Amino acid sequence: MQSHISKTACKSNLMKLRRVVVTGLGAITPIGNCVSQFWENLLKGVSGACPITLFDASKFKTRFACEVKDFDPESILEYKELRKYDRYSQFALYSAKEAIQDSKLDLENLDCDRAGVIFSTGIGGIGSYEHDMVEYLQNVEVPRFTPFFITRMIANIASGHISMQYNFRGPNFGVVSACATSTHAVGLAFDQIRLGRADVMITGGAEAPITVSGIGGFNAMRALSTKNDEYATASRPLSGSRDGFVLGEGAGCLILEEYEHAVKRGAKIYAEVAGVAASADAYHMTATHPDGLGATLVMKNALRDADLSVDDIDYINIHGTSTPVGDPSEIKAIKQVFGEHAWNLNISSSKSMTGHLMGATGAVESIVSILSVQNDVVPPTINHQDGDEDPEIDYSLNFTFNKAQKRVVRAAMSNTFGFGGQNASIIFKKFCP
């Protein structure tokens, strides 16, 4: 028995991991309702912030957010079906539809037992929960709940809806790690394929937190910017006058595919997934570790998983939420991990344009990183003004302020950090057959 165990363990250790590539992208964001529009506005440095229209925010400390504009849920669902889906699930289905179409997967001949979905959210159906509880409290003598209350609200339901839409019967679940959620989702989908458990995965994240309780709750935490008179420039990562993040909504979706499977069908390949990692700060419920210990660990482990050196990375899409504590600690971590190469990097925060998309952040910023690798251009960090500096931040680094920069991007790293001290980092590199 002992000999058998040893041989099995040896065989397992020698198992070759499969290559994983990106063959489809989908997005709905505050600055674009498809990937091409989103990317165009990113490079232009367009702000997605606007006064809140989804509810009356006139009495709130924060009266603006980064809303999705001109969203038509009937483009994906019949009107009579809409009441069954929270706004976050609608965003998920919308982005998945674009990604599937973009991938040109032959769904009629695809082995759906080998195709799965890992699609996540940080908060879930907070809007549905809020709506139904208000109705209950207004009619407490005759308690009434819609039969869709639970299924609209739960955090795994978007993944289920997508699998049902496309008949994907492989691994299917959601994960929750606050703002790191969808990076963890993409990383887990990556693992399913490279470990041989699936050939194709739909993955990403969606969030619709711009609600009374969403704005009110984050206001109570003093997490949101209150620059109501400067809402278009309120999300200003790395600037000295930053005072909190701007809440956003939307979804990002990636189609991951095993390399040989993609090549065999002649798929368009955007980039290769190189490596992923997770860590914990083990420090505070909401604040990142001031010395960036968890961030340092997760970036080092992502590089190790990708079998890349620091010199191989050209761009980092930072978490960069525009909070007083979070931004400096991430920059400290980058300097710690990358050493002298930190000054050769382009660094930027797309949250300066999209706001903070919470559980959708990692997927949307993975798309940013992938398109940077494919197109050799880095989108900017907008809203920074000369002289608006933080003594805790080293401005000799290239933060790609206010204007996109062209450069060869061999590999890009995307960082996401969530409440609870949960960190995730993923690396995409140029595809080479």
Q: Catalytic residue numbers?
A: 179, 319, 356
Neighbours of 86 (CB within 10 A): 25
Which residues share a beta bridge with 413? 316, 427
Residue 402 contacts residue 348 (beta carbons within 8 Å):
no
Residue 52 contacts residue 376 (beta carbons within 8 Å):
no
Long-range contacts of 102-105 (CB under 8 A, 24+ apart): 102/24, 102/25, 102/26, 102/35, 102/255, 103/23, 103/24, 103/255, 103/257, 103/267, 103/268, 104/24, 104/267, 104/268, 105/23, 105/24, 105/200, 105/255, 105/265
Which residues share a beta bridge with 405? 378
Residue 400 contacts residue 317 (beta carbons within 8 Å):
no
Residue 64 contacts residue 234 (beta carbons within 8 Å):
yes
How far lies 308's CA from each of 3, 299, 312, 411, in Å?
A: 35, 11, 6, 9
Helices 87-103 and 157-166 cross at an angle (nearest 10°) of 40
Nearest 10 degrees: Cα torsion 340, 346, 351, 352: 110
Residue 155 contacts residue 124 (beta carbons within 8 Å):
yes
Phi-psi region of 300 (alpha: psi -120 to 50; beta: other; left: phi over 0): alpha
Q: What are phi and psi of 405, to 5 degrees?
A: -125, 130
